[in-house]
Homo-oligomer: A and B are copies of this chain.
Amino acid sequence: SQTRRRRMKRLKIASLPGDGVGKEVVPAAQTVLKAVSNVHGGMQFDFTEYPWSCEYYLEHNQMMPDDALERLQDADAIFLGAVGNQKLVPDHISLWGMLIKIRREFEQVINIRPAKLLKGITSPLTNPKDFDLLVVRENSEGEYSEVGGRIFRGEDEVAIQNAIFSRRGTERAMRYAFELAAKRRKHVTSATKSNGIVHSMPFWDEVFQAVKSDYPDIESDSQHIDALAAFFVTQPQRFDVIVASNLFGDVLTDIGAAIMGSIGIAPAANINVNGKYPSMFEPVHGSAPDIVGKGIANPIGQIWTAKLMLDHFGEEELGVKLLDIIEDVTAARILTPDLGGKYATEDVTAAIVDRVHK
């Protein structure tokens, strides 16, 4: 399906700004994508925007209309900002009604989240070295499950939550990680917690042992999630590819974003691997209600996410160029306040667009 897309001149992008700063950074990143297509020709992005969000929910009592998935289905990719506004809608309703729903229904079973330090950006770590890691997060099952419920009342009440790990899903994420590692520094770390969590995690370890034997050229190790989270702080440079469950991947990638200098710059891609549905490109950060409307949201997370979308379309060369340009701009210290700068969303965006045109 990538080959098919490569030949296409027009790429249909379903644009879902969603909530909060999503509505500020998605337009910014679209401006950049348009500049990229103008300059490099042979490629055109047709954006169709959908207003689905918590505000939409207040009017329609659902996050997205009944035919939302049908409408998204023919897109070549979905470009999403952020979902969630606790003041309007409880998070589990907004997220499961939109973000997680799309991930699941469109079988976006893998979430890819790189973390590396860009020039000009100060990490909160004294000695970040040159870390450059990639978390492959299982994106369709595991701890994020709707199976569970409650029993008894009052002080005896008990809530039960099931985490569901299939061999198919687990193995798929692990193979994906090994394949990526083969093109990188050839090391995969498995995030486990089999010492404390005695059904799902020993199973996870077993599958990892089985998968790794198919990749004799790739080195690997297993780390418990607690130790791994600490290593992200003390020695992030030791990691290449990390494969993690849905929850562990979620936690690790926020730490990854933190050590990159700001959650506002961390990119992510929700990948549909069977080619049946579009993939979704969505940065790690959320809707950031505290800075909404101030014009200071960092657009880099969304723009770097656009770079992952270019990669996905087979335009790796353009992708590399775009990341170089982003890094030019950070190196020039044209930074939003989350990175210690004084620039606005539109300044950073303009600086990037400017360099695309050169």
Residues of A within 8 A of B (CB): 84, 90-92, 94-96, 100, 122-127, 143-150, 154-168, 171, 193-204, 224-227, 229-231, 233-234, 246-247, 250-251, 253-255, 257-259, 263, 286
Contacts and interface: CB of A to CB of B under 8 A. Distances in A.
A247 B197 contact: yes
Contact of A200 (B156, B161, B196, B233): B161
A317 B303 CA distance: 55
A254 to B, nearest CB: 4
Given A159-B165, A230-B257, 17 more contacts: A84-B195, A122-B126, A124-B127, A126-B126, A155-B167, A158-B166, A159-B203, A160-B162, A160-B200, A161-B164, A197-B247, A227-B254, A229-B258, A230-B255, A230-B258, A231-B258, A251-B251
A92 B163 contact: no
Given A125-B124, A234-B124, A161 B165 contact: yes
Contact of A229 (B143, B171, B200, B255): B255
B125 A197 contact: no
Contact of A251 (B122, B202, B203, B229): B229
Identical subunits present: 2
Given A162-B161, A233-B233, A255 B255 contact: yes
A87 to B, nearest CB: 13
9 contacts: A124-B125, A124-B126, A124-B127, A143-B196, A159-B199, A159-B204, A163-B163, A193-B250, A233-B258
Contact of A250 (B95, B159, B196, B233): B196
A156 B170 CA distance: 11
Contact of A230 (B127, B224, B226, B263): B263
A167 B161 contact: no
Contact of A203 (B150, B202, B204): B150
Give the one of A127, A157, A198, A286 with max B CB within 10 A.
A198
Contacts of A194: 90-92
A79 to B, nearest CB: 21
Q: Which of A197, A204, A253 has the most CB of B within 10 A?
A: A197
A122 to B, nearest CB: 7
Contacts of A154: 167
A196 B251 contact: no
A162 B148 CA distance: 8
Contacts of A165: 158-161
A282 to B, nearest CB: 14
Given A124-B127, A255-B255, A198 B92 contact: yes
Contact of A95 (B94, B195, B231, B259): B195
A155 B126 contact: no
A286 B196 CA distance: 13
Given A124-B126, A125-B126, A198-B146, A247 B92 contact: no
